[in-house]
């Protein structure tokens, strides 16, 4: 196991055990129903809050457990093992908090993070727009200074937790002429006048993670909510956020891949055809071997990226993209093979692999598609090679 290569601390192992229990008792029994009803996992979040899982995501001075990034990785894998929809909804709050953690003033951190650490509030991350997905510099949302406020206008697309979150970190242009150097990040509270939400998206997978548009129409936000108190550095906060959150998305992919593999091997050991267990067919064995290898490799890349993040290494952007891309592609491939091993039964809602197959696809799309991750990896490789000469 990966733990032999990169070990978890005693505290991290305890968190893993605790989370595994909560997922087994509170998530797995209801995941099918939440998926069917497209229902946000509010009740589950109350259990996560009681178990202290939100606090494991934050530093001690803001009311968290101070366990660092590895805690997010452990939780992401364990929760996604049970349900990627619940995992996405949970992680969305950390994603929304990261711009404040990496770029906020001490006052902003003290004001906004403790309620997230206690689980009393959740937040969300608003970067993508209808015409600016992979192409972040094409952002059109604007923020114009007016006295001691900024006036926001524009629309954000596909925001996880939208409508449910209490506040949002929102990226907007404060200087259109400067492109990415003209982007700033703002904290916007849910009930601010001029701020509303689009319809709940009816998605292929992760159906319990609510996704909506954020709509800003002359929405007045206090200037003190400008993250870091400085204009035009929002893109940098966004990049730092994604470098730190992609290992957690990779960990979610590892969790889903592991769950699909576990379900497939168990089924292969039980299902009989031609008078023998299907696990005795070499064709099935080779699929299982490939699935296990890929999940294990994805976990190792995830742990490596996490360690580089903890060390503040300059190689983080490439490692983070490698982990996210490989783990996402692995989750999709492993979930597909799991359905194959279940045969016709895998194509129905009677078994969980059908949902895993639908859920896995999003991992190759959000927080940068697999194509964008490959662009990032190639850019890192070319830069490294140039500096070696």
Retrieve residue 97's tokens: 């908090």
| Catalytic residue list contains 59 | no
Q: Which is nearer to ligand FAD, 62 or 158 (CB)?
A: 158
Instruction: Please report how close the Cβ of residue 160 comes to ligand FAD at its closest, in angstroms.
Output: 4
Q: Which is nearer to ligand FAD, 12 or 376 (CB)?
A: 376
Q: Is 362 in the site for ligand FAD (CB under 6 A)?
A: yes
Sole window of 48-56, 122-130, 187-195, 253-261 interacting with ligand FAD (rule: CB under 6 A): 122-130
- Contact in structure between 141 and 156 (CB atoms under 8 Å): yes
**Strand extents, DSSP E, 88-148:** 123-126, 142-146
Nearest to 168, CA basis, from 216, 208, 114: 216
- Contact in structure between 181 and 146 (CB atoms under 8 Å): no
Residue pointed to by tokens 């229902």:
39
**Residue selected from 92, 100, 172, 227 as contacting ligand FAD according to rule CB under 6 A:** 92
**Gap between the Cα atoms of 385 and 253, Å rounded:** 30
Phi, psi values for residue 47, rounded to 5°:
-70, -40
Q: Which is nearer to ligand FAD, 69 or 372 (CB)?
A: 372
Q: Is 128 in the site for ligand FAD (CB under 6 A)?
A: yes
What residues contact 75, with CB distance under 8 A and at least 6 apart? 15, 19, 53, 56, 57, 90
Residue pointed to by tokens 């064709």:
283
Considering only residues 265 to 284 of the shown chain, the ones binding ligand FAD according to CB under 6 A are none
**Residue selected from 62, 366, 376, 380 as contacting ligand FAD according to rule CB under 6 A:** 366
Instruction: Please report how close the Cβ of residue 372 comes to ligand FAD at its closest, in angstroms.
Output: 6
Q: Is 187 in the site for ligand FAD (CB under 6 A)?
A: no
**Residue selected from 108, 211, 225, 258 as contacting ligand FAD according to rule CB under 6 A:** 211
Q: Are strands 123-126 and 167-173 parallel, antiparallel or unpaired?
A: parallel
**Residue selected from 134, 230, 313, 348 as contacting ligand FAD according to rule CB under 6 A:** 134
Q: Is 250 in the site for ligand FAD (CB under 6 A)?
A: no
Of 26, 78, 231, 367, the catalytic one is 367
**Gap between the Cα atoms of 206 and 255, Å rounded:** 14
**Residue selected from 82, 103, 368, 380 as contacting ligand FAD according to rule CB under 6 A:** 368
Retrieve residue 123's tokens: 């937040």
**Strand extents, DSSP E, the chain:** 123-126, 142-146, 149-160, 167-173, 183-189, 195-197, 211-222, 272-273, 276-277
Instruction: Please report how close the Cβ of residue 129 comes to ligand FAD at its closest, in angstroms.
Output: 8
Sole window of 106-114, 281-289, 350-358, 370-378 interacting with ligand FAD (rule: CB under 6 A): 370-378
Sole window of 24-32, 65-73, 105-113, 128-136 interacting with ligand FAD (rule: CB under 6 A): 128-136
Q: Which is nearer to ligand FAD, 75 or 214 (CB)?
A: 214
**Gap between the Cα atoms of 138 and 90, Å rounded:** 28
**Residue selected from 32, 52, 114, 133 as contacting ligand FAD according to rule CB under 6 A:** 133
Question: Cβ–Cβ contacts within 10 Å for residue 353, how many?
Answer: 27
Considering only residues 140 to 179 of the shown chain, the ones binding ligand FAD according to CB under 6 A are 158-160
Residue pointed to by tokens 């991350």:
125
Give residue number: closest CB to ligand FAD.
133
- Contact in structure between 291 and 338 (CB atoms under 8 Å): yes
Residues with a known catalytic role = 367
Q: Which residues bind ligand FAD (CB under 6 A)?
A: 92, 124-128, 133-134, 158-160, 203, 211, 362, 365-369, 371-372, 375
């Amino acid at each position: 196991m990966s733990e032999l290569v990169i070990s978890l601390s005693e505290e991290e192992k305890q968190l893993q055990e605790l989370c595994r229990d909560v997922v087994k008792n509170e998530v797995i029994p209801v995941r099918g129903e939440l998926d069917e009803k497209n229902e946000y996992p509010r009740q589950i979040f109350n259990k996560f809050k009681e178990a202290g899982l939100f606090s494991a995501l934050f530093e001690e001075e803001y009311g968290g457990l101070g366990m660092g990034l590895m805690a997010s990785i452990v939780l992401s894998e364990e929760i996604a093992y049970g349900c990627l929809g619940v995992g996405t909804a949970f992680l969305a709050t950390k994603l929304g908090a990261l711009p404040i953690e990496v770029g906020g003033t001490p006052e902003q951190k003290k004001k906004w993070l403790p309620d997230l650490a206690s689980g009393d509030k959740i937040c969300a991350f608003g970067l993508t727009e209808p015409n600016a997905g992979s192409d972040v510099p094409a952002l059109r949302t604007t923020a114009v200074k007016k006295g001691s406020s900024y006036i926001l206008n524009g629309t954000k697309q596909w925001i996880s937790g939208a409508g449910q979150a209490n506040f949002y970190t929102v990226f907007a242009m404060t200087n259109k002429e400067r492109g990415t150097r003209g982007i700033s990040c703002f904290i916007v509270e849910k009930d601010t006048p001029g701020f509303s939400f689009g319809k709940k998206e009816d998605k292929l997978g992760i159906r319990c993670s609510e996704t909506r548009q954020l709509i800003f129409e002359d929405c007045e936000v206090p200037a003190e909510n400008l993250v870091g108190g400085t204009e035009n550095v929002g893109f940098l906060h966004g990049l730092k956020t994604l470098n730190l959150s992609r290992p957690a998305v990779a960990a979610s992919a590892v969790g889903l891949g592991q769950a699909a593999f576990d379900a497939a091997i168990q089924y292969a050991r039980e299902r009989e055809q031609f008078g023998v267990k299907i696990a005795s067919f070499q064709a099935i064995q080779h699929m299982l071997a490939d699935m296990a290898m890929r999940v294990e490799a994805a976990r190792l890349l995830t742990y490596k990226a996490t360690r580089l993040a903890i060390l503040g290494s300059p190689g983080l952007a490439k490692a983070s993209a490698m982990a996210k891309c490989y783990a996402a592609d692995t989750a999709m491939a492993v979930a597909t093979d799991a359905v194959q091993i279940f045969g016709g039964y895998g194509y129905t809602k009677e078994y969980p692999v059908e949902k895993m197959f639908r859920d896995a696809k999003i991992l190759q799309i959000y927080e940068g598609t697999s194509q964008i991750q490959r662009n990032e990896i190639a850019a890192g490789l070319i830069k490294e090679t140039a500096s070696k000469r």
